[in-house]
Structures are given as C-alpha cells and as structure tokens.
Structure 1
Amino acid sequence: MAKNSSPADEQRDDAPKVGKGRPTPTRAEQEAKRIRPLVATTKEAKKAARAEMRARRERAQIGLQNGEERYLGPRDRGPQRRFARDWTDAGWHLAEFLMPMMILVLIASVLPIAFMQIWAFAALWIYIIFAIIDMILLSNRVKKKAAEKWGDGREKGLGWYAAMRSVQMRFMRMPKPQVKRGNYPQL
C-alpha cells in the first residue's frame, strides 16, 4: 500500500463509474452533427427521394381508391359519409347516365335533320329534370336513413354529398364503390 492512499481511495477504484464517462457535448457540436441539406444534393439521394415519394403517392392513391379512412380527404371522412357513399353506390340513379345522354344529344345535334336536333334537346332537358328529381329523392332518403341510424348526431350535408356522388358515373367515383348494386348498408 502506498503511503498517501486511504481505504476510501481503494473503494473508489473498484466502484462502478457513475454517469456516461465522457463530457457532455456542447450545443454547437450537437447541431453540427445534425446539419444536412434540406434538398438532396447527390444524384443517388435525389433518385432515392423521388422513388420514396412515388411509392408514398402510389400507396395513398390505392388507399383512397379502397376507401381507407386515413387516406380520405376531409370531405369523405367519417362513418356517416361512408354510409352516404354506400347508400348511393348501392342504387341505380338517372344522374349517373347524364354524361352519356349529353354525348348522344351532341351527336344528334350534328345531324342535318332539324326535327332530330329539336327532339334530342327536348329529351335531354326532360332527362335532366327527372335526374334532378331523382337526386332530391336520394338526398331525402339518405338524410332520413342517417337520422334513423345516428339520430340528432347526424352530420349536415349528407344529402348533398350523396346527390353529388350520384351524378358521377359509377366507375369514375372516388373513393371507388365498396358495395355492389342492391347491397344497401344496414341501419
């Protein structure tokens, strides 16, 4: 044993070290470690960033088409909106055939027969009137069914949402229809 050593010094050498055993880095050192460019500068980094962004967009597009809640916009979110979508998609509506009808009228208007042109436009306007009536009936039905299911907690605008969805052709609707025709949602 050395002359100047005490039993307390011997215990300190055998005891485990407390703390991390190194000095705490300064704030400037920590910030310097984290600095990296906001925009990728190398070709490989740019290519990887583009590939990642493309994969994220594709996943979001698939999620939107499948009606996954986290990928839907604010207009389409929630169980009541899903109910209105499913109710609309389960039925046949005059308004979804409005575009094909307009194309037929456009073709008829090109024909040199005046009689055909006049009757085509008259038929289109009659069809539009019936489509609007069908949209109003759909709106009222969806509001009534939603009120039966949710009572006073029913969202505003469900009827309009369903009516506007019925105007779109079924294969063009987004999110894609999740129910087959005739399969109305349960109350």
Structure 2
Amino acid sequence: MPVHPVPLGFVFRSRAKDEKATAAAQAQVTGSPETRDPQAPKGRPTPKRSEAQSQRRSVANTPMTRKDAAKRGREERRAALEKQRKALAGGDERYLPVRDKGPVRRFARDFIDARFNVAEYFLPMAVVILVLSMVRVTQLQTIALLLWLVVIVLIVLDSFATGFRLKKRLAEKFPDDNRRGAVAYALMRSLQMRRLRLPKPQVKRGERP
C-alpha cells in the first residue's frame, strides 16, 4: 500500500492551531471571576464578602490593651476640648459646655453683651483705687475709700436693674422654658470685661437681642 507523504505546511499549521487553542484556554482561566484584588496580597484572589466582613469583625472585637485604651481616651478628650474651644470662640451651640447651652442662656449673653455694664469696669477701677490707697497721702487715701464705696454702690444698683429687666424679658420670650439660673449667669458675665468673655460676644453694643 503506497504511503503518501504528509505536507510540511500541514504539520506547521496543525501545531499553530494547537498553540492557539492552548493560549485561548489559558486566557479563559486567567479571565475567570476569581481575579486578584488590587489591594489583596500579590498572588492571592479577592476574598469573598462574607470573609471580609468576618475579618473586620474580628479586628473590631479584638480587645485593646490598657495602653491603647488610655491613648484613645486622651485623643477623644483632646478632640472634644478642641471642639469646645472653637465653639466658645464662634458660638457653635453643638459643642458648648452645658452651662452655656440653650436659647435662654444665649439670650442672656446677648442681653449683657449689647449694653454697657458698670461691673465690667470693676477690675480697671479696682487697680486705680488700689494704687491711690497705697500712696502715703491722707487725702488720696480718703478719695480711694470714697471711690470704693461709689463703685460698689453703682455696681449693685446697675446689677439690680439689669437683673430685673432681664428677668422680665426672659419671661416674655421664653414662658415655657427653664429659666432657672439664667439671671445669675448673666450677672456673672457682666463682671467680666467684654474682650475676655467666653463664649465670645455675638452682638454689638446697642444691638437689641
């Protein structure tokens, strides 16, 4: 039986087809859904959602050491103090101390900040009177004593009038709110110089709240 020679081109074409089929199969395996996560370690497939959630839970439930807990507590307190400091400077109600929160306390602050108060000049006048009382001159010491009396009387009268008007305004504006301690809070604020008051004044002189 005669043997027919196989064409050389047919052999090469068959080998090329086999190589293409092998490359296509490898491409299908590589393009499978189990692709690698860019953030996953090199050479590992992307973890399933359930596995990722369980890993996060295990990390969250890992007990902290006493040192870590103390460090986190310090950071939280530092952040809270920073927010409070900014609130005292800007008047943000969310982070103000408890004694300064609420519309009643805000109105009391604005009522004091909008007017001139005799009590806010107490410290400068006290320094002047103290200097006069230290001078070894009888007349100056007598003047210093009289000034003390005048300053005290003016502060008492002004505080009484301010407290009376503020109490009336609060009753008119906030009839259903808790107004306890608001007048005393305002009078204590009136003893401070305007530039040193915290929270910072939000109204101008003469501006009616």
Q: TM (normalized to structure 2)?
A: 0.65
Please tell me whether Structure 1 or Structure 2 has the larger radius of gyration of its CA atoms: 2
Within the candidate set 90, 97, 102, 1:66 is matched to 90
Quick one: higher RCO (CA 8 Å, sep 6+), 1 or 2?
Answer: 1
Partner of 2:138: 114
Identify the residue that residue 114 of structure 2 maps to in structure 1.
Answer: 90
Matched, 1:34 2:58: no
Structure 1 CA distance for aligned equivalents of residues 150 and 176 of structure 2: 37
Post-superposition offset of 1:158: 2.0
Which of 168, 173, 177 is residue 144 of structure 1 equivalent to? Answer: 168
CA deviation profile, 1:127-169 (whole Å, cap 9, x unmatched)? 1111111011111111111111122545122222211111111
Matched with 1:177 is 201
Going from structure 1 to structure 2, the CA distance change for 1:53 and 1:143 (only over 3 Å counts) comes to closer
Q: Which runs of 5+ in 2 are unaligned?
A: 1-47, 52-56
Query: Does residue 80 of the first structure (1) align with residue 104 of the second (2)?
Result: yes
- Residue by residue, what CA displacement relative to the aligned partner does 1:80-106 show, whole Å, maximum 9, x if unpaired? 110010010000000000011110011
The partner residue of 1:163 within 181, 187, 205 is: 187
Residue 79 of structure 1 and its aligned partner are, at CA, apart by 0.2
Structure 1 residue identity aligned to 2:116? W
What is the CA-CA distance between 1:171 and the residue it aligns to? 1.0
Helix, strand or coil: the match of 1:151?
A: coil
Aligned residues: 158
81 and 53 in structure 1: CA distance in 2 versus 1, 3 angstrom threshold: closer
TM-score, normalized by length of structure 1? Answer: 0.72
Q: State the shift of 1:60 in Å.
A: 2.1
Runs of 4+ off more than 4 Å: 29-33, 46-56
Q: Secondary structure at the match of 2:108?
A: helix
Aligned-residue identity in percent: 40
Structure 2 residue aligned with 1:9: none
Please give the per-residue CA displacement for 1:102-130, whole angstroms capped at 9, x wherever unaligned: 10011112212111012112112211111
Match of 1:103 among 127, 138, 141: 127
DSSP-derived class of the 2:66 partner: coil
Q: Let me know the Cα RMSD of the aligned residues.
A: 3.3
Shift of 1:35: 2.0
Aligned in 2, Cα 1:56/1:100: closer, same or farther, shift over 3 Å? same
**Residue pair 1:136, 1:163 contacting (<8 A) in 2 also:** no
Paired with 1:40 and 1:166, the residues of 2 have a C-alpha distance of 44
